[in-house]
Structure 1
Amino acid sequence: MGSRGAQSSPPPQGIYVPVPTFFAKEGSANYDPISPPLDLDAQTEHSLFLVRGGIKGLVILGSTGEAIFVRNQERHELIKSQRKALDDAGYKDRPIIAGTASQNIEDTVELIKDSQAAGAEYAMVLGPGYFAPATSQVGLQKWFEAVADRSPIPVLIYHYPGVTNNLYIAPSTFEKLAQHPNIVGTKLSHGIIDDQTLIAASPRIDHDHFYVFTGLGQNLLPVLTIGGVAAIDGLAGCFPRLVVRLFRTYMDSSAKGTSKKDIDEMRDLQFRICEGEKLVAAWGVVGMKEAIARVWGIGSRTGGRLPLAGGFQDGEKEWAKWETVFAGLKELEEKFKAEGKEG
């Protein structure tokens, strides 16, 4: 886009998945225990599993994608391969949002430009948290505006205090950033419901052009009720139809008039999602790779780059804590698949 041009459009509303980056299994060709190569076959298998389950688009190389462990050349190869896989399978309408996790404006813009060249339609830009305690709201505003001015594709602000040294981006700062024509939304990966409300329901934000996504599926129903558009959610990487079902039930019931039956169904779905999200909260990407491999046989339970290599520290004992919940969620996912309403 460059500079302050015409208003960019946000990504389509729906459930997105911050996909794990799959690395080669032990014993595979060119395996390196320190830095195993990408496993693009597993990546593609997972991507198609998601879009067939109703996922609107993919976030590649976010926090769950271990972006900080992936080299720039690999980033390009990863994004390009998944854009091609989606296109070849008839899913040209499912956008790819590329994550960036650089502290430097010029480096961030370079990553965005390369991501666009590889096939990404949007950029999700992590806040610069290295000097979080000394960073002012004005400084943050100018940093994001400088990135958005230079970005050739629309930008979403990624607010995840857990990986940015507890960097705080105030609702008032979001109100200012939402006025930038090339900033089209945010992913809020925190549970501060009052701040989420002050952004998603703010009368000082044009919500047709600035979308609020929760980064926490466990917050999906409450965030929808306050004006958020959907979720970019980790658990949906294992149970896409489950999370999509809650989103679609909310949207359908809102359109026709919400009944008590709808509310009961949505509460039940949210409860089940919250049960599964406890694994994501406890183990992050390590837990997601374990779950996806154990439940669906996609990828490797231990396929990661140091220091995350090795999966659960006490594999079977740890999985035993989650097995009953995840077996129940798999049963629900397969029930929804059989109904054929998603995908």
Structure 2
Amino acid sequence: MAAAAPPHGIWVPVPTFFARKAAADYSPVSPPLDPDTQLSHAVFLANAGVRGLVLLGSTGEAVHVTRAERVALVKHLREGLAAAGFPAFPLMAGTAANSVDETAALLAASKEAGADYGLVLAPSYFAGVTSQEGVVAWFAAVAARSPMPILIYHYPGVSNNLKITPATVRTLAAHPNIVGAKFSHGDISAHCQVALDPAIDHERFALFTGLGQHLFPAVQVGVAGAIDGLAAFYPASMVRLFELASADEMGSKQREEARRIQWAASRAEELVVGCGVVGIKEAVARVCGFGDADGTRLPLLGGLGDQEWKRWEPVMAEMERVEKAVRSGGPLYSSLDGP
């Protein structure tokens, strides 16, 4: 029996929080996990209406976390979310290994700890000589060994520019244990070719964009939602944008609201695209108060710093106005020209 697709909507690729510098067990080389902050941020996002969390993806520094830490993090969030009133909140655990057996083992450990789906980064060490047939065979082998449904994670920026074509996705979408994909690139044509492909059963295969920058237009062509870094610190705005974009009918006021949110989000998302996990952690700390702005593991070193953040303040102030308006249920702005 084929597995079901993840719920459509906004998913958040959460950062992995590490202990603050003031903690007694802090180590500058490998700071330990900070499970309390991890759970507090997760509950904050769940209360904002996001559909699920992606743990241990690129934003979650999967390549910097041990298998034991992975299990502890997933287990802690599963139990903590249940205690906070979210017993069945969807969790997706990422992998970033190149071998089939190691990837399958990571998926099994995450499943046992409480994850519902696996987000599997394409193997990329030998990207220059990896054929599309090799990509298909690799993902099929992982899916066959995985105890939970998996999604294809196509992120050329961290995958040695490995290409995964829409035709390859079509082939993999037929596998009963492959239930979707995340495209973390700006090629909207590729999104269209997969989301609109009549050969794909879109009831059980969901394509998510990794960029809230183009959420509104992407949803118009059948994309199921976003796994979006901006939602880690402005979740209500992205949830509202998805609601507007996916509505069966949209009046002029709703269209204007969607445009207003998308304009602000597209500008703010430049921080996510340009600075990656470093920028996301900086924003989560400064905007929401969770974790340290420079709380990464080596070789990542330090945050953006005050001077660089100051450059982003006007953009974030605009996004903050949108977030507050969405949370209050009040009107945004009557035009795209400003408040």
TM-score tier by shorter-chain length is over 0.9
The whole-number CA distance in structure 1 between the counterparts of 2:321 and 2:228 is 20
Number of the residue aligned with 1:81: 76
Deviation at 1:239, TM superposition (A): 0.3
The answer to whether 1:227 aligns with 2:227 is no
- 1: distance between equivalents of 2:223 and 2:322? 25
Task: Look up the match of 1:277.
Answer: 269
CA–CA distance in structure 1, aligned partners of residues 254 and 318 of structure 2: 21
SS at match of 2:246: helix
Question: In structure 2, what is the Cα distance between the partners aligned to 1:78 and 1:93?
Answer: 17
Match of 2:43 among 32, 45, 48: 48
Aligned to 2:150: 155
Q: Which residue pairs with 2:291 in the alignment?
A: 299
User: What letter matches 2:235 in structure 1?
Assistant: P
Show structure 1 runs of 5+ residues with no match.
1-5
Distance 1:29 1:10 in 2: 43
SS in 1 for 2:300: coil
The alignment of Structure 1 onto Structure 2 pairs a total of residues equal to 331
2:180 maps to: 185
Q: Which residue of 1 aligns with 2:308?
A: 318
- Local SS of the residue matching 1:97: strand
Q: Distance in 1 between matches of 2:88 and 2:216?
A: 25
1:244 aligns to what? 239
Paired position in structure 2 for 1:129: 124
What TM-score comes out, normalization by structure 2 length?
0.95
Letter aligned with residue 292 of structure 1: V
Alpha-carbon separation, structure 2, partners of 1:339 and 1:269: 14
Letter in 1 for 2:314: T
Instruction: Tell me which residue corresponds to 1:3.
Output: none
User: Could you say what secondary structure the match of 2:9 adopts?
Assistant: coil
Indicate the residue corresponding to 2:319 in structure 1.
329
Supply the distance in 1 between the matched residues of 2:320 and 2:18 (Cα, whole angstroms). Answer: 24
Task: Give the equivalent residue in structure 2 for 1:65.
Answer: 60
Task: Please provide the CA RMSD for this pair.
Answer: 1.3
Aligned to 1:218: 213
Q: Post-superposition shift, 1:335?
A: 2.5
> Post-superposition shift, 1:111?
0.1
SS in 2 for 1:185: strand
CA contact (8 A) 2:244 2:250 kept: no
Contact 1:25 1:302 survives alignment (8 Å): no
Cα deviations by residue, 1:160-213 (Å, 9 ceiling, x for unpaired): 000000000010011110000000000000111111111010011010010000
Query: Which of 116, 135, 138 pairs up with 1:140?
Result: 135
Q: Distance in 2 between matches of 1:219 and 1:29?
A: 43
1:259 to 242, 251, 257: 251
Superposition deviation, residue 263 in structure 1: 2.3
Counterpart of 1:16 in structure 2 is: 11
Q: Which has the higher contact order (CA 8 A, sep 6+)?
A: 1
Contact preservation (8 Å) 1:125, 1:156: yes
Cα displacement (A) at 1:58: 0.3
| 1:15 counterpart SS class | strand
User: Matched residues in 2 for 1:251 and 1:37: separation?
Assistant: 40
* Cα deviation digits, residues 245-275 of structure 1 (max 9, x gap): 10011223x2xx2223332221211111111
Query: CA shift at 1:326, angstroms?
Result: 1.2
- Aligned mates of 1:230, 1:246 — CA distance in 2: 10
Structure 2 gaps, min length 5:
331-339
Amino acid at match of 1:304: T
Residues 335 and 262 of structure 1: CA distance in aligned 2, closer, same or farther (over 3 Å): closer
AA aligned opposite 2:142: V
Greater shift after overlay, 321-330 or 64-73?
Answer: 321-330
Alpha-carbon contact 2:144-2:177 (below 8 Å) kept: yes
